[in-house]
Chains A and B, each alone.
Chain A
Amino acid sequence: MRVNFTVNGRKQEADDVWEGESLLYVLRERMGLPGSKNACEQGECGSCTVRLDGVPVCSCLVAAGQVEGREVVTVEGLADYAKHRDDAHPGGACASGACGTSVDAAQRWQAKPQDGRSAESGDLSPIQQAFIDAGAVQCGFCTPGLLVAADELLERNASPSDQDIREALSGNLCRCTGYEKILDAVRLAAARQEEAV
C-alpha cells in the first residue's frame, strides 16, 4: 500500500508498504531516518518515541497505515520543531529517500573536536543541548526517544518537579546512565528556558 504523511514538516510518500510494517520500520528503512531507535520493538523501552500529531508514541507499536494523513516528528526534526514550536513548524530534516547510514558515510565518520560543542552554533534544541552539557549521553541508544519525550514534557510543563520528570520519562529505559544525568539535563533545559523568557 501507499502511505502519505508528514515527517518533520515535509510531505512524504511511502510505496509498497507491507500491511504489517510499523511506523518505526518505515521511518528507519524507507524514509532514511534511523534516529528513532529499534531497542525492543515491543513498546517497552521508549527508544523509538516520536510525536504523532503532537502526542508521544512508540513508533514500533504504530502500524504504518495508521499514520495516513497525519503528522510525525522524530528526533531528526526536533531542533526545527522546537525552533518553530508556535508556528506550523515548516521545513524538515532528512528526506533524501536513501535509507539509513551508507557504508561510505560510516567510513568517513570521525569524531571531530568541535562535535561536542557544535551546539553553540544554535543548531540544537534546548533539550538536545542540555543532554550534551549534563553528560546525559553515554552509549546514546535511548537518547533520541528520551529527547522527544522530554521535549514534550517541557512543552506542557515549563518547570517540572523531579517527580513530574520521572513520571514523564518512565516509559523510556536507559541502561547506561542511572538516570541522574538525564534528570540533570531536563532540569537544566527547564532552567535555561526560564532564563530565556
Chain B
Amino acid sequence: MATTGTPTNITQGSKTKGGIGESTLRPDGTLKVTGEFAYSSDMWHEDMLWGQTLRSTVAHAEIKSIDISEAVAMPGVYAVLTYDDLPTDVKNYGLEIQDTPVLAHGKVRHHGEPVALVAADHPETARRAAAKIKIEYVELPVITDEASATAPDAVLVHEGRDDHHIGHVPHPNIVHRQPIVRGNADEAAKRADVIVKGEYTFGMQDQAFLGPESGLAVPSEDGGVELYVATQWLHSDLKQIAPVLGLPEEKVRMTLSGVGGAFGGREDISMQIHACLLALRTGKPVKIVYNRFESFFGHVHRHPAKLYYEHGATKDGKLTHMKCKIVLDGGAYASASPAVVGNASSLSVGPYVIDDVDIEAIALYSNNPPCGAMRGFGAVQACFAYEAQMDKLAAKLGMDPVEFRQLNAMEQGTIMPTGQPVDSPAPVAELLRRVKARPLPPEQQWATAGEQADVRALPGGLSNTTHGEGVVRGVGYAVGIKNVGFSEGFDDYSTAKVRMEVINGEPVATVHTAMAEVGQGGVTVHAQIARTELGVTQVTIHPADTQVGSAGSTSASRQTYVTGGAVKNTCEHVREAVLEIGRRKFGSYHPAWATAELLLEGGKVVTDGGEVLADLVDVLEDEAVELELEWRHRPTEAFDLRTGQGNGHVQYSFAAHRAVVEVDTELGLVKVVELAVAQDVGKALNPLSVVGQIQGGTTQGLGVAVMEEIIVDPKTAKVRNPSFTDYLIPTILDTPTIPVDVLELADEHAPYGLRGIGEAPTLSSTPAVLAAIRNATGLELNRTPVRPEHLTGTESS
C-alpha cells in the first residue's frame, strides 16, 4: 500500500522559489549520501590522542581507593585523570541542579558512572590502560523505587541538598514534586455513574540515536580549548563546561559537528568536559568516541514511571473528575527531572475537558540510570495511562472509544488544569475523526487470494511457526497533547545573525545561528525563511558555533518556532535596512519608495501591487547589511508549587493515531499492520520534512509499545541490556505503513502560524498500539513494552 507522500491539503507559500511551504531538499543531503558529511566521530587532527572513560561496575558504593599506577606506566598512554586532577573547585555540572560530578568523588551513584579518564595514542591502548586502573569499592544498598527512596531509614542519594526544589519535596530523595488542584475532585466524583481505576507501568526507553557520543577537543594557544561536538544546545554545554575547566566562556570555543540524531539524549553533557580536560592536560588534540555499550551509560534515558489514575464519567459519557499520581524515576542525578515533572503533571489530563482534578507528579532520586529528556518529555508516560483509562471508561459505558473521546475532547477556549486557556486551534475531535475515517488495511494480508501465503507479513515474520492460524486482529485509537517550547517562565529565546550582500553579481543571504541541526531539518527551513523574507534564491547556512548568541535547545519541538522565528525577525529587520538603502539611492526616482508597502521578491524590490522598483544587486552594490538579533515568544509563568496554577505553556501540539495489529496469541508475537496518524502542524513550512518527522516519531512510540526497554536489575540497579543486540529498536520489518494526514490550522501567536511537530506523534502512537493489542486479545496489559510472556500468560514473577 502506498503511503501518503506529500499531503495534498498543504498550501504552497512564498513567491521566491524555495521559500516556506515548499518541500525543498536538505542542503546537507548530498554530503550525507556520499559519506562526506563530517559527523562528530569523523573528526581528525594531526597528532591527536584517543580518550577513554573508565566507568563504575557497581551502582552505589563508596570509593575506597583508585590506583592508576599500572595504567600510567603503559607505553602510548599520555594521561590518566581522576577526581583529584580536576583543575578548580567547581567539580559538578547539571542542567537545572549542579549535582553531576565530572568524575566520581567519594561515591558512585549509578552503574556506569565515569570514574577516571585515559588519553593514549590508539583507542585500543586507551581501553587497555583504563582496564588496568584498580578501584576499591565498598558497596551500599541500592535505591530503586519509591518505597526504597522514601523509607524512613533510606540512604540519601545526595546528602546536604541545597537546591531550590528541596523546600517543596516531602523527602530529600525526591527531586521535585508538582501538585495540581483545580475544582473539587472528591465532590465531582459523587456525580460519576462509573469510576475506573488503573495502575500503569512505563518502561525505561532509550533515545538510541545512531551517531554515538563523540567529539574532538583541541587545545588553543591562549590556554583555551576548541571543542567540535554533537550536541543539542551549544550554549547550555558552554555554561556547564567553562566553570569546571576554570576557563572564562570566551576561551571555550564550541562548533557543532555533524549530529547523528539526538531525541533528547544530547541535552546533557556526555564526553564534552572529559575531552577538554584531557586536551588541556596533554596539550594535544583528544578525540573521544563512545562505542554502543558505553553510549547506553553515556546519556540519560526516558523516565520510567508508575502511574495511578482514577477517572469518573456520567452514564451519558461526560467525564466528571480525574485523580492521579505519577511517579517518575529520575535515577542518580537530576538532569531535566524538575521540568519533566512539570510536564507530566500539567499534561496529565490529556486533551480532555475535566474541571475537577487532583494531580501529583514526583521524580525520584535513585541508583538507577539517570533519566532526563527524551522526545515527548513527561507527556508520553501520562498519555499511555490516560488513554488506557479512556478505553476502560468507554467499555464500561458501552460506548465507542472514539466517540467517547470526541465527546470529552478539548477545543479552543478550553481551560487547562493549570487554569491556562487554550487560545489557538485544538482540533482533537477532528484528528480522531480523520484517523477513524481512513479505510482499514485489508484483512489477512499474508494470505493473498489464490497465491501462497507470504509468511514474511505474519507476526514474527520468517521465523514464525504459524501460517495464520490463531492470528487475531485488533484496532486501537489514541490522541495526545504536548506543549511546545520551554515552559514555566523559562526565558526561551533564540538569536539569529543574517547578512545580505552581492556575491558574483547575485544577492546572497547568510544565516548564522547556534541552532543544533540534529537531523530535524532546521537548516532547510532557515534557508526557506530567508528566501521568503529576503526574496533571494542563494542562501548560505553558516555552521553553528558559539561565535553567535544562543539559539536555545533543539528540543521541546521548539527550534522551528523559536530559532525560525528569530531568523524571520532578523530577516525582516535586514529587509528594512536594505529598503532604507534603496530609498536613499532611488527614492527620488519613484514616489512608490515612500508611499507603497515594499517587498523583496525574486531578487528585486517590488511594491505590494507587483511593480518592480529596483534590482537588489543595484540597491546593495558593494554594501553589506548584517544584523544579529534576539527573539522571544510570548512569556510563560511558573506553576504555583501548591496548586499548579499558572500560564505555564507557550503552545500545544496535537496528534491522533489509529493502530491496526495482528497478534499470534499462541506465541505472543505482535505485528503492527498499520499506524495511521493525523496531526495539526499549524503551517507546514516544509511538507516533506513534516511528514518525515511524524513518521519517525510514530515509530519511536511503536518501539516502546512492543520492544524497547532498558532493563535494570532491581536488586543491583545494574543495566542488563546495553547493546543493540539486547535493546531492540524497530527495524524496517517491525515498522508498518504509516499514512500521515496533516492539518494546517494556524496558531495566530506563532511565526507563520506554525506549530511544533517533532514530539506529538511519539505520544499517542504507544497507547494506540496497546489499545489495538487489547482489542485483539481482550487482555488488560497495563505495562509497556508488551512482551510475548504478557500475551501468553507465561510471565514468570
| Complex contact A44–B724 (CB within 8 A) | yes
Report the Cα distance A174→B23, complex, angstroms: 22
A-B contacts counted at CB < 8 A amount to 247
Q: How far is the CB of A186 from chain B (nearest CB, A)?
A: 10
Q: How far is the CA of A18 from the CA of B521 in the complex (A)?
A: 40
Convert A87-119 into 0s and 1s, putting 1 for each residue whose CB lies closer than 8 angstroms to a CB of B. 000000000001111110111011111011111
Given contacts A141-B210, A180-B3, contact A124 B30 (CB under 8 A): yes
In the complex, the answer to whether A40 meets B724 with C-beta atoms within 8 Å is: yes
What B residues does A107 contact at CB under 8 A?
Answer: 255, 543
With A135-B23, A163-B454, A175-B209 known as contacts, the answer to whether A180 contacts B28 (CB < 8 A) is no
Residues of B contacting A165 with CB < 8 Å?
732
Q: Specify which chain A residues have a CB less than 8 angstroms from the CB of B255 in the assembled complex.
A: 106-107
Point out the residues of chain B lying under 8 angstroms from A184, CB to CB: 3, 5
Contacts of B695 in A (CB 8 A): 177-181
B260 touches A141 (CB 8 A): yes
Q: Which stretch (B32-40, B274-282, B658-666) binds chain A?
A: B32-40
Binds A, one of B41-49, B129-137, B186-194: B41-49
Whether, in the assembled complex, B319 has its beta carbon less than 8 Å from a beta carbon of chain A, the answer is: no
Q: Which residue of B lies closest to A20 (CB)?
A: B124
Q: Chain A residues near B44: list those with CB within 8 A.
A: 29, 98-103
Chain A residue numbers with a CB within 8 Å of B262 are 139
B519 in contact with A140 (CB, 8 Å): yes
A116 touches B27 (CB 8 A): yes
Tell me if B724 and A103 are in contact (CB < 8 A): no
Are B538 and A103 in contact (CB-based, < 8 A)?
A: no
Q: Is the CB of B34 within 8 A of A179?
A: no
Interface residue B696 (Cβ < 8 Å from any Cβ of A): yes
Are A124 and B33 CB-contacts (below 8 A) given A138-B696, A179-B735?
Answer: yes
Judged by a CB distance under 8 angstroms, whether A131 is at the interface is yes
Q: Which residues of B contact A116 (CB under 8 A)?
A: 24-30, 524
A180 to B675, CA, bound (A): 12
- Determine whether B386 belongs to the interface, using a CB cutoff of 8 Å to chain A: no
Chain B contacts for A12, CB-based, 8 A: none
Report Cα–Cα, A171/B538, bound state, in Å.
39
Neighbouring A residues of B5 by C-beta, 8 Å: 184
Complex contact B737–A180 (CB within 8 A) = yes
- Does B211 interact with chain A (Cβ within 8 Å)? yes
B732 lies within 8 A of A35 (CB): no
Answer whether residue B365 sits at the interface, using C-beta atoms and an 8 A cutoff.
no
Residue contact A103 to B540, C-beta cutoff 8 Å = no
Say yes or no: A109 contacts B691, CB within 8 Å: no
Query: Separation in Å of the A124 CB from the closest CB of chain B?
Result: 7
Asked if residues A163 and B210 are in contact (CB atoms below 8 Å), the reply is: no
Contact B211 A39 (CB under 8 A): yes
Interface residue? B432 (CB, 8 A): no
- Residue tally, chain B, CB below 8 Å to A: 86
Q: Give complex CA distance A159, B78 in Å.
A: 55
Q: Most chain-B CB neighbours within 10 Å: which of A35, A38, A169, A178? A: A178
A33, B257: Cα distance in complex, Å = 17
With contacts A139-B260, A140-B28 known, is A172 near B209, CB below 8 A? no
Interface assignment of A59: CB less than 8 Å from any CB of chain B: no
Instruction: Choose from A29, A39, A76, A106 the contact partner of B35 (Cβ within 8 Å).
Output: A76
Interface residue A132 (Cβ < 8 Å from any Cβ of B): yes
Residues on B with C-beta less than 8 A from A179 are 695, 699, 732, 735
B723 within 8 A of A: yes
Q: B292: CB under 8 A from chain A?
A: yes
Task: Kindly state whether residue A51 has any CB partner on chain B within 8 Å.
Answer: no
CB-based contact A140/B733 at 8 Å: no
Q: Which residues of A contact B692 (CB under 8 A)?
A: 135, 138, 176-178, 181
Q: Does A75 make an interface contact (CB < 8 A)?
A: yes
Task: Give Cα distance in the complex from A74 to B35, angstroms.
Answer: 9
- Give chain A residues whose Cβ lies under 8 Å from the Cβ of B738: 178, 180
Q: Mark B519-551, 1 if CB is under 8 A from A, else 0.
A: 111011001000000000111111100000000
Shortest A59–chain B CB gap in Å is 12
Residues of A within 8 A of B26 (CB): 116, 132, 137
Q: Is A182 an interface residue (CB 8 A)?
A: yes
Which of chain B's residues have a CB closer than 8 A to the CB of A111? 27-28, 523, 527, 540-541
Q: Which of A112-148 contact B (CB under 8 A)?
A: 112-113, 115-119, 124, 128-129, 131-133, 135, 137-144, 147
A132 to B261, CA, bound (A): 17
- Find the residue from A34, A37, A74, A113 having the highest chain B CB count within 10 A: A113
Q: Are A128 and B211 in contact (CB under 8 A)?
A: no
Asked if A40 and B292 make an inter-chain contact with CB atoms under 8 angstroms apart, the answer reads yes
Q: Which residues of chain B from 267 to 291 have a CB within 8 Å of any chain A CB?
A: 285, 289, 291
Interface membership of A170, Cβ < 8 A: yes
Give the docked Cα–Cα distance between A143 and B39 (Å).
12
Q: Would you give the 0/1 interface string for B673-712, flagging 1 where the beta carbon is closer than 8 Å to chain A?
A: 0000000000000001101100111111000000000000
Q: Is B725 an interface residue (CB 8 A)?
A: yes
Interface status of A70 (Cβ within 8 A of chain B): no
Say yes or no: B725 contacts A42, CB within 8 Å.
yes
Any A CB within 8 A of the CB of B763: no
Looking across the interface, which residue of chain B has its beta carbon closest to that of A178? B695
Instruction: Write the nearest CB–CB distance from A138 to chain B, whole angstroms.
Output: 4
**Contact digits for B191-228, partner A, Cβ 8 Å, 1 yes 0 no:** 00000000000000001111110001010000000101
Return chain B residues, CB-CB under 8 Å to A167. 456, 733
Query: In the complex, what residue of chain A is closest to B32 when comparing beta carbons?
Result: A140
B185 at the interface (CB under 8 A from A): no
In the bound complex, how far is the Cα of B102 from the Cα of A190, in angstroms? 51
Q: Name the one of A98, A139, A169, A170 contacting B261, with C-beta atoms under 8 angstroms.
A: A139
B3: nearest residue on chain A (CB-CB)? A180
A45 interface hit (Cβ, 8 Å): yes
Specify the chain B residue showing the minimal Cβ separation from A182.
Answer: B732
Let me know if B35 and A110 touch, CB within 8 A: no
- Are A177 and B540 also in contact (CB < 8 A) when A106-B228, A133-B25, A139-B261 are? no
Chain B residue contacts of A119, Cβ below 8 A = 30
Whether A75 and B34, one on each chain, are in contact in the complex, defined by CB atoms closer than 8 angstroms, is yes
Q: Known contacts A119-B30, A174-B210; can you find 17 more A-B pairs with CB under 8 A?
A: A34-B38, A37-B41, A40-B723, A42-B292, A42-B723, A101-B38, A113-B27, A116-B24, A116-B27, A116-B28, A124-B33, A144-B33, A166-B733, A170-B733, A175-B729, A176-B519, A177-B699
Q: List 19 contacting pairs A-B, 8 Å CB cutoff, sorted by A.
A: A34-B35, A37-B260, A41-B292, A44-B292, A99-B44, A103-B226, A106-B228, A107-B543, A109-B31, A111-B28, A115-B28, A116-B26, A117-B30, A128-B34, A141-B260, A170-B732, A175-B210, A175-B261, A176-B692
Q: Which residues of B contact A (CB under 8 A)?
A: 3, 5, 18, 23-39, 41-45, 122, 124, 207-212, 216, 218, 226, 228, 255, 257-263, 285, 289, 291-292, 454, 456-457, 518-521, 523-524, 527, 537-543, 688-689, 691-692, 695-700, 723-725, 729, 731-733, 735, 737-738
* A-B pairs, 9 with minimum CB distance: A35-B35, A139-B519, A100-B44, A178-B695, A141-B260, A140-B32, A111-B27, A44-B724, A116-B25
